Amino acid sequence: MSRPVRTFLLATVFLLGGCGATNVTTDGNFPFVHFYPTLLEKTDQATDRLIGGLDHSFPSGGPLLVASLANINNLEESSTFGRVVSEQIGGHLTDADFRVLDTRLRSRIFVKQGSGEFLLSREVREVSQTYDAAAVLVGTYAEADGSIYVSLRLVRSTDSLILSATSFIVPVTDRVSSMLGG
């Protein structure tokens, strides 16, 4: 491979590197660049799918509660990753004109202090009555094989009926890995 071509390819990798996570592999002398969407892009797409999955059964009235995502291996545990994803989804829902209640400004609903706001199925009705919430966003995440599998559900507070659900996969980059530990 000639020096100008190699320089061009490396410059392209560095210039486009800010577009999301990248992974550069080589096959002989030719580099392949894999671009991954950012976590913010993934949560934005997931929110669009949640909203798109809603129908006339969506309750009107009260606001939405957004709970921290729970680690599927220990439902009473979250991480920085679980809290960041739920914060991003809550922001996207607000941008889509949903009324989203920030529970941190009111009485605490922590199951485990410092881990986040958790809502397990049995708690949805009780907690949503406390906050007068029409629906609750709950979810889980699991790490496996270099990826994180995220599952989200929008649940009606009166009867725990799942109104919409979606899931997505996030590659474990250094940045994402740093959020899994705490």
Identify which of 119, 111, 132 has the alpha carbon closest to the alpha carbon of residue 160.
119
The rounded mean pLDDT for the chain is: 75
What pLDDT shows up at residue 78?
Answer: 83
Residue 153 and residue 123: Cα distance in Å, rounded? 15
Record the pTM: 0.71
CATH of domain 38-180: 3.40.50.10610
| Distance (Å) of CA 21 to CA 17, 95, 106, 114, 124 | 7, 25, 36, 29, 35
Q: Taking 80 as the threshold, does the pLDDT of residue 89 lie above it?
A: yes
**Structure confidence by residue, pLDDT tens digits, 99-120:** 998 765 444 444 444 444 445 5
| Amino acid at position 160, single letter | S
Q: Give the residue extent of every domain in the chain.
A: 1-36, 38-180
**Structure confidence by residue, pLDDT tens digits, 151-180:** 999 988 888 888 999 999 999 988 888 888
Identify which of 50, 174, 173, 168 has the alpha carbon closest to the alpha carbon of residue 100.
50
Residue 173 and residue 34: Cα distance in Å, rounded? 12
Taking the mean position of all CA atoms in its chain, how far away is CA 95? 15
* DSSP assigned state of 1: -
**Structure confidence by residue, pLDDT tens digits, 95-104:** 998 899 876 5
